[in-house]
Structure formats: structure tokens, C-alpha cells
């Protein structure tokens, strides 16, 4: 059959009509063999081998015929047969029930897995030596993800979204399906990984939305629970507060742990959403409701809830600021003149957080701004000034530019954010000035602009700049009318980094 395809190309004259008839017959035979094979009525291995060779060789056919039965069109016809077979063989998602029943979605995914693997293992022996098997894999791949796109359009719970996301992330390419030992060597060429990764991104976005809704719903259900509802709170009894704390932790840890089974990257994103939703929840529901009642027990309740709020805010910021400190140390060590990557990284972190409650989001942004300013100053004063000056001829100007950039980035996150960069702007002035009298004026202005800065902080800054101890004392004595905070009143954020 395959040889006849090649021979027919050289036929001409009186043989032309006979050749056309032969090609039509071969076309019909090839279509019949492949159609039966794709639909499950497997022809013999030899028939499949010959038909496959004929289709492949047909792509090299250079005859003048352009009809459907012309050999150069056989591969296109095979592709159409594969698409039809995929539609018929691969199970369709039960869309009318997918969004309401977890087990329905689970059964559908299991059935797709079993059916596709069985079909590919059945066709592999006859087609794997030709490009036809790649065509089958590619079409099955597209068909599966077209169906999974339909699944994503359904209203899914967080658990259902986790289910389908885990199946794609951990089963689809594993030995349970496309990575099966019998077919994995022949599947790699036919898998369009862009289709795979694009779907994962869409599924992740849907999951994060579902998690956000689920966390808020579960937190609200805690509020409605009789055991911890504030209307039945017993004065002096802290059991309800303990139960509240435990219930909240269980809700958050459950979501975070489930995300960790999919990937660490997803776990970090779910953590951020969970902690942000907790902030929203506390701000919107608990604190305002209880604070309206001014008895001693309700005030105690507010303190407990504020403690949880502080913890949740700490958790929102912990991961990005852990990375931020390492980035800033590296930044000052190398004296890199490019914009601070750490600022953009934190900005990107906040852009992924939900904004269902703008007030809670503003609190988180404002706190991050304040902490990043303090962290910047800490890392600057821990760096080697002489080495930094080799890269930055004017350290003061660089600090000033970074302070302006810092405010610009956080203003994009919250246009109403407080101006937290004033300390860095004053630090820039101190570092740029070399006149001792000008230093006295600048430090006095700093004390007015930044009342939280202590005398010890200013002393460290002046010593880092290079002033002698006597010069430092002269500057501080000149500013004596602006009484600096005594050591015991140092702000908490300063105590965290002072020991330079």
C-alpha cells in the first residue's frame, strides 16, 4: 500500500485514470482501518502499520491531484478522525452536577484517566513509530483541557477546585496517565505544555477566589455558633475566647495545609489570603460589634480580638519581610544602583491579596510601609559605609531617591497611605550635609518631623556617617531643646534592630 502511494506519483498518460482509481480505493481503505482503530475495533497490527506508513508517505506525494482522496490530504483526514474519536471516547463532564457534588467530579476525573490511558496504550504499539501517535496525544490533550475549561466555568467549591487542580498537577503527567511507562516516551512530543500551564494559572485564580469565599464563610459560621456567640458570653469566663482562637486556627490551617498538598507556591498564596481575610473579618465584624458595648468584659473581648488581629497581620507580612531583609542586605552589600527589587516584590505581594474590606487592606499596607522604612534604615546602618561609597558616590542622594520611590509604590497600593518615608528623607539630608552647623539644624528638624526617633537612633546615624564622638555630642547638645525620647521609651520597631 505504501509503495503504491510512491509509485502512483510517477504514473502518467494512459495510467492516470487507473492511478486515480487506485488512490481512491487506498484512501477509503486507509480511512476504514484508522477509523476502526480509533473507535476501538482494532485491525491487525500489520494493517495498522501499513496504513500508518501510507499516511506518512502521502505527505511526500507531489502529484497534481488536489481531491480529498489525494495522498497529501490523508494526514488531515486522519487528524479529523482523531478529533471525532476523542469526542466520542473521552467521557464528557457532567456539568449539570459538577458544581454540586464532589464525588461526581471525582468519578469523572477517574473515568477520563482510565479511558485515555487505555486508548493510548492500545494505539501505541501500531502508531508510536510514526508522527501519527503524536497527533493522537495532541488531540486527546486538547480535548481533555477543553473539557476542564468547561469544568472551571461551573460554580465550584474550594474543595472541588482543589480536586481538579490536584488531578492536573499531580496525576495528569504522572505514571498514572501521560507518564505511564508504556507511553511516556511517545507522549512528550504531543503535549502542548502552554495549554497545560495556562489552564493551571486559570485554575489557581479560581481556587484563590474560592478559598477567599470559603474562609470568610467559615469564619462567619464561627460567629453564628451558639458556643462563642457574644450574646451568651459569661463574664470572667475565658473559655469562649480560647475556643474562638482554636476554631479560627483550625479554619486557616485546614485551607493552608490543603494548598500545601498541591504546591508550596500555592500554599504561600493561600496563606496570604487566609490571613488577610482574618484581618477583614476582625475589622468588619468582631471589633466594631463588641466595642459598642463598653462594659469591662466587652473591653476584654476587644483586647483578645485585637491580639488575634495583630497575629494575623504579622502572618500576612512575615513571608515577604523575611525575603525583604535578605534582599536589602544584598542590596547594600553590592551597592546596586538599580531600583529596589524588594519594594516591587512587596507591592506584588499586596496586589494578590483580596480587597473585600478596604480598611483592613489599608491597615496592612500602612503597616508594611512603616516596617519596610524601618527595615531599610536598619540594613543601611548595618552596612559598611566605605564599601557602599565605592558604588554610590553620594549615599545621601541615593537614600533620598529610594525614600521617594518607596512612597510612590505604597501610594499606588493605597492613595491615602500616611507618609512614612519622612525619617528616610531626613536621613538623606543628614548624610548629604558635611557642615556641622547644618547638621544641627537637620537633626532638629528630624526630631520635629519624626518624634518617634530616639536620641540613640540619631547617635547611631551620626556615628555611621563618620562624625566623631565629640561632634555627635555637639550636635545632640545643640538639639537639647527638642527632648529626645528616654531609652525606655524607644519604639518597638527600633528595639528589634538596635544592636548595630
Task: Give the pLDDT score at 280.
Answer: 74
Contacts of 26 (CB under 8 A, 6+ apart): 1, 4, 5, 54, 71
Q: With cut-offs at 50, 70 and 90, classify the pLDDT of residue 167.
A: very high
Nearest CA to 401 out of 343, 448, 347, 362 is that of 343
Which DSSP string corresponds to 251-299? HHHHHHHHHHTT-HHHHHHHHHHHHHHHHHHIIIIIHHHHHTS-SHHHH
Short-list 408, 307, 414, 400, CA closest to 351: 414
Place 485 in a pLDDT band, splitting at 50, 70 and 90.
very low
- Write the CB contacts of 402 (distance below 8 Å, at least 6 apart in sequence): 340, 376, 424
Residue ranges with strand state E in 435-482: none
Q: What's the confidence (pLDDT) of residue 106?
A: 92
Q: What is the mean pLDDT of residues 310-314?
A: 72
User: Does position 239 have pLDDT exceeding 90, yes or no?
Assistant: no
Q: Tell me if residue 454 falls in helix, strand or coil.
A: strand
Instruction: Give this prediction's pTM.
Output: 0.59
C-alpha cell at 218: 467559615
Mean pLDDT over 43-59 rounds to: 80
Q: Is 485 helix (H, G, I), strand (E, B) or coil?
A: strand
Residue 102 has pLDDT above 90, yes or no: no
Cα→Cα distances 284→214, 252, 274, 289, 424, Å? 17, 18, 15, 8, 33
What does the pLDDT read at residue 71? 78
Instruction: List pLDDT tens digits, range 315-335.
Output: 778 778 888 888 888 888 876
- Nearest one of 421, 433, 490, 493 to 456, comparing CA atoms: 490
Check pLDDT > 90 for residue 100. Answer: no
Report which of 208, 209, 352, 359 is spatially closest to residue 281, judged by C-alpha positions: 359
Q: Which residue has the higher pLDDT, 165 or 43?
A: 165
pLDDT band for 11, please (50, 70, 90 cuts).
very low
Judge whether 338 and 392 are in contact, CB under 8 Å. no
CA pair distance 47, 12, nearest whole angstrom: 28
* Per-residue DSSP letter, 171: I
Q: For residues 272 and 345, what is the distance between their CA atoms, to the nearest angstrom?
A: 14
For the segment 128-156, the average pLDDT, to the nearest whole number, is 92
pLDDT of 16 strictly over 90: no
Residue with cell 469562649: 240
- Mean pLDDT across the stretch 354-363? 67
Asked whether the predicted pLDDT for residue 495 surpasses 50, the reply is no
Per-residue pLDDT at 296 = 58
The CA distance from 296 to 314, in Å, is 27
Which of 16-25, 180-189, 258-267 holds the top average pLDDT? 258-267
Q: Is the predicted pLDDT of residue 64 greater than 60, yes or no?
A: no
Query: 82-96, 148-162, 221-235, 319-333: lowest mean pLDDT where?
Result: 221-235
Instruction: Determine the pLDDT at residue 73.
Output: 81
Q: Which of 270-284, 359-373, 461-475 has the highest mean pLDDT?
A: 461-475
Residues 6+ apart with CB under 8 A from 395: 385, 388, 389, 431
From the list 365, 358, 373, the residue with the least C-alpha distance to 405 is 373
Backbone angles phi, psi at 129, to 5 degrees: -85, 0
369-384 pLDDT tens trace = 998 999 999 999 999 9
Q: What is the pLDDT of residue 233?
A: 47
Q: Which residues contact 57 (CB under 8 A, 6 or more apart)?
A: 2, 5, 6, 71
**Confidence grade of residue 98 (pLDDT, cut at 50, 70, 90):** low
Give the model confidence (pLDDT) of 391-413 as tens digits.
888 899 999 999 998 999 888 88
Write down the pLDDT at residue 286: 58
Model confidence at 60: pLDDT above 80: no
For residue 296, count other CB atoms closer than 10 A to its CB: 9
CA 443 to CA 450: how far, in whole Å? 10
- In terms of Cα–Cα distance, which of 226, 219, 243, 216 is closest to 301? 243
> What pLDDT, on a 0 to 100 scale, did the predictor assign at position 7?
47
pLDDT at 10: 42
**pLDDT of 336 higher than 80:** no
d(CA 318, CA 320): 6
Of 439, 311, 320, 427, the C-alpha closest to 368 is 320
Give the C-alpha separation, 402 to 339, whole Å.
Answer: 8
Rounded mean pLDDT, 336-353: 69
CA 166 – CA 189 distance, rounded (Å): 23
Provide the mean pLDDT of the chain.
79
Cell 519622612 identifies what position? 422
| Helix%, strand%, coil% for the chain, nearest 5 | 75, 0, 25
Q: Is the pLDDT of residue 185 over 50?
A: yes
Q: Which helix (H) or strand (E) holds 169?
A: none
Whether the per-residue pLDDT at 170 is higher than 80: the answer is yes
d(CA 351, CA 356) in angstroms, rounded, equals: 13
Inform me whether the pLDDT recorded for 224 exceeds 80. Answer: no
Amino acid at each position: 500500500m505504501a509503495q503504491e502511494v510512491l509509485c502512483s506519483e510517477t504514473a502518467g498518460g494512459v495510467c492516470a485514470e487507473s492511478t486515480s482509481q487506485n488512490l481512491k480505493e487506498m484512501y477509503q481503505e486507509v480511512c476504514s482501518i484508522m477509523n476502526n482503530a480509533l473507535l476501538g475495533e482494532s485491525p491487525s497490527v500489520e494493517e495498522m502499520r501499513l496504513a500508518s506508513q501510507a499516511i506518512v508517505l502521502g505527505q511526500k506525494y507531489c502529484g497534481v491531484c488536489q481531491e480529498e482522496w489525494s495522498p497529501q490530504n490523508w494526514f488531515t483526514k486522519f487528524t479529523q478522525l482523531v478529533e471525532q474519536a476523542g469526542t466520542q471516547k473521552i467521557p464528557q463532564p457532567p456539568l449539570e452536577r459538577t458544581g454540586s457534588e464532589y464525588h461526581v467530579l471525582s468519578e469523572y476525573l477517574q473515568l477520563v484517566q482510565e479511558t485515555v490511558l487505555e486508548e493510548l496504550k492500545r494505539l501505541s504499539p501500531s502508531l508510536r513509530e510514526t508522527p501519527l501517535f503524536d497527533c493522537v496525544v495532541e488531540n486527546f490533550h486538547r480535548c481533555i483541557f477543553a473539557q476542564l475549561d468547561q469544568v472551571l466555568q461551573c460554580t465550584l467549591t474550594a474543595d472541588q477546585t482543589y480536586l481538579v487542580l490536584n488531578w492536573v498537577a499531580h496525576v495528569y503527567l504522572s505514571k498514572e496517565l501521560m507518564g505511564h511507562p508504556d507511553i511516556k516516551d511517545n507522549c512528550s512530543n504531543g503535549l502542548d505544555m502552554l495549554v497545560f500551564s495556562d489552564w493551571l494559572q486559570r485554575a489557581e485564580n479560581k481556587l484563590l477566589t474560592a478559598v477567599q469565599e470559603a474562609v470568610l464563610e467559615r469564619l462567619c459560621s464561627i460567629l453564628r455558633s451558639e458556643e462563642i456567640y457574644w450574646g451568651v458570653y459569661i463574664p470572667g469566663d475565658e473559655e469562649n475566647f480560647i475556643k474562638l482562637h482554636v476554631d479560627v486556627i483550625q479554619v486557616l490551617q485546614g485551607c493552608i495545609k490543603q494548598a500545601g498538598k498541591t504546591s508550596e507556591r500555592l500554599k504561600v498564596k493561600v496563606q496570604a489570603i487566609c490571613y488577610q481575610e482574618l484581618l477583614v473579618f476582625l475589622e468588619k465584624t468582631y471589633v466594631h460589634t463588641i466595642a459598642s458595648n463598653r462594659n469591662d468584659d466587652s473591653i476584654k473581648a476587644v483586647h483578645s480580638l485585637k491580639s488575634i488581629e495583630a497575629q494575623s497581620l504579622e502572618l500576612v507580612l512575615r513571608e515577604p519581610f523575611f525575603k525583604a531583609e535578605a534582599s536589602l542586605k544584598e542590596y547594600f552589600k553590592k551597592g546596586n544602583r538599580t531600583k529596589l527589587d524588594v519594594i516591587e516584590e512587596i507591592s506584588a505581594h499586596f496586589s494578590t491579596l483580596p480587597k473585600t474590606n478596604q480598611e483592613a487592606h489599608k491597615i496592612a499596607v500602612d503597616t508594611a510601609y512603616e516596617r519596610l522604612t524601618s527595615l531599610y534604615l536598619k540594613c543601611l546602618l548595618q552596612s559598611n559605609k566605605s564599601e557602599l561609597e565605592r558604588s554610590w558616590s553620594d549615599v545621601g542622594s541615593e537614600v533620598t531617591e529610594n525614600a521617594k520611590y518607596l512612597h510612590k509604590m505604597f501610594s499606588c497600593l493605597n492613595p491615602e497611605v500616611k507618609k512614612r518615608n519622612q525619617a528616610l528623607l531626613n536621613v538623606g539630608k543628614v548624610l548629604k550635609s558635611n557642615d556641622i552647623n547644618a547638621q544641627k539644624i537637620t537633626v532638629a528638624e528630624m526630631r520635629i518631623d519624626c518624634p518617634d526617633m530616639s536620641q540613640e537612633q540619631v547617635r547611631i546615624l551620626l556615628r555611621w556617617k563618620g562624625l566623631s564622638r565629640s561632634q555627635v555630642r555637639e550636635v545632640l547638645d545643640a538639639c537639647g531643646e527638642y527632648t529626645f525620647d528616654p531609652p525606655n521609651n524607644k519604639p518597638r520597631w527600633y528595639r528589634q534592630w538596635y544592636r548595630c
